[in-house]
Amino acid sequence: MPELRQNPATKEWVIIATERAKRPEELGTGVIAPPANEKDHCPFCQGNEKKTPNELFSYRTYGTAPNTPGWWIRVIPNMFPALMPQGNPDRVHTENLFLSMNGIGQHEVLIETPEHTHSIATMPQQQVEEICLAYRERYIALSQDPRYEMITIFKNHGLNAGTSLRHPHSQIIATPITPMHIRHRIEEAMRYFDDHGSCVYCDIIEKEKKIGERVVAETDNFIVLEPFASQSPFETIILPKSHASTFDSIPPERCKELAYVLRMTLVKLFRSLNNPDYNYVIFSSPCHERSLEYYHWYIMIMPRVTAVAGFELGSGIYINTVIPESAAKFLRETPFE
């Protein structure tokens, strides 16, 4: 069973993931080369459904059975989960100093397409739309469990972004805690609301539209920006223009527009930076704290074009070598269609 442990000095939580434990000598051995006949061995390819745990959810052709071919999106439990769904979130205090709890949670993999070599930037619009709809479905399903506080949806694309499996997939992790990282964002947004009586993200959208130079693209309901204080080159955020604090508040019919914006942004990054490794994350408020007037969900895309080094680790201050205004101009001018 994995365990959640809190650092008593910083209040930061860590998952001690025993299910994916490595022997110390296995660490630092670098990348495992994919086998020559990669598709035959890939557990996410069509026809290899039996190589994965039973599916939790899928979009598939009517009449086809679960865990057989015929799907175009498939959600399965992660084969090496960081957290496990059995148990309760009781806290354990040791020596009146160390806080830990069972590593309960749910760790899912969303297989985005049966096509092994696609990526969102090369998929048809319709497929990306289905991915967004599936994210929404899983967010809603997991948020029904009262033990979970946070549902984090994210994608690692490429080796430098932390994935070794090429087949396009995203991950969803439900956790029983709200980590400091998110709490800090929420508290700052709450403070801003106390001072100004408005949502800081709504205000950012309004001012960035007025200034214009950091806007990459805009549709009726979404805006794509290079943040004023981007932490690394080409950090890009996608914000819904109308205020909402949790991701599942997006109406299903708007997933089409979200998919258009997400795909457009990733195509522009793909073309500008020559298929960079990247992570994206959907930031949302804790799932049971709905309709917060001071927090605003959004997607952050972080191309992995530079490595985090000692100064960043030591100071928490990132050094960004690309001016966000230049990155925005470059992406604006990069063709999409």
Please, what is the minimum distance in Å from the beta carbon of residue 116 to Zn ion?
A: 3
Distance CA 3, CA 101 (A): 6
Please, what is the minimum distance in Å from the beta carbon of residue 37 to Zn ion?
A: 11
Partners of 240 in the β-ladder: 222
Distance CA 34, CA 164 (A): 8
Distance CA 229, CA 320 (A): 9
Catalytic residue among 107, 157, 169, 243: 169
Specify the residue, 136 or 167, whose C-beta has the smaller distance to Zn ion.
167
Please, what is the minimum distance in Å from the beta carbon of residue 20 to Zn ion?
A: 20
- HEC string of 239-258? EECCCCCCHHHCCHHHHHHH
Specify the residue, 169 or 268, whose C-beta has the smaller distance to Zn ion.
169
Contact yes or no for 268/334 (Cβ under 8 A): yes
The SS3 call for residue 334 is: coil
Distance CA 278, CA 22 (A): 25
Please, what is the minimum distance in Å from the beta carbon of residue 211 to Zn ion?
A: 18
Specify the residue, 101 or 199, whose C-beta has the smaller distance to Zn ion.
199
Q: Token digits for 198? A: 């408005």
Please, what is the minimum distance in Å from the beta carbon of residue 296 to Zn ion?
A: 4
169 is catalytic: yes
Specify the residue, 121 or 199, whose C-beta has the smaller distance to Zn ion.
199
- Of 289, 100, 104, the closest CA to residue 182 belongs to 289
Please, what is the minimum distance in Å from the beta carbon of residue 43 to Zn ion?
A: 8
- Of 125, 120, 58, the closest CA to residue 269 belongs to 120
Please, what is the minimum distance in Å from the beta carbon of residue 42 to Zn ion?
A: 3
Contact yes or no for 247/153 (Cβ under 8 A): yes
Q: Which amino acid is at 60?
A: R
Specify the residue, 197 or 314, whose C-beta has the smaller distance to Zn ion.
197
Q: At what angle do helices 324-333 and 255-273 cross, to 10 degrees?
A: 100
**Interacting residue ranges for Zn ion, rule: CB under 5 A:** 42, 44-45, 116, 167, 199, 201-202, 243, 296
Specify the residue, 263 or 296, whose C-beta has the smaller distance to Zn ion.
296
Q: At what angle do helices 180-196 and 200-211 cross, to 10 degrees?
A: 70
Distance CA 188, CA 166 (A): 37
Helix, strand, coil percentages, rounded to 5, for the chain = 30, 25, 45
Partners of 92 in the β-ladder: 100
Give me the active site residues, please.
169
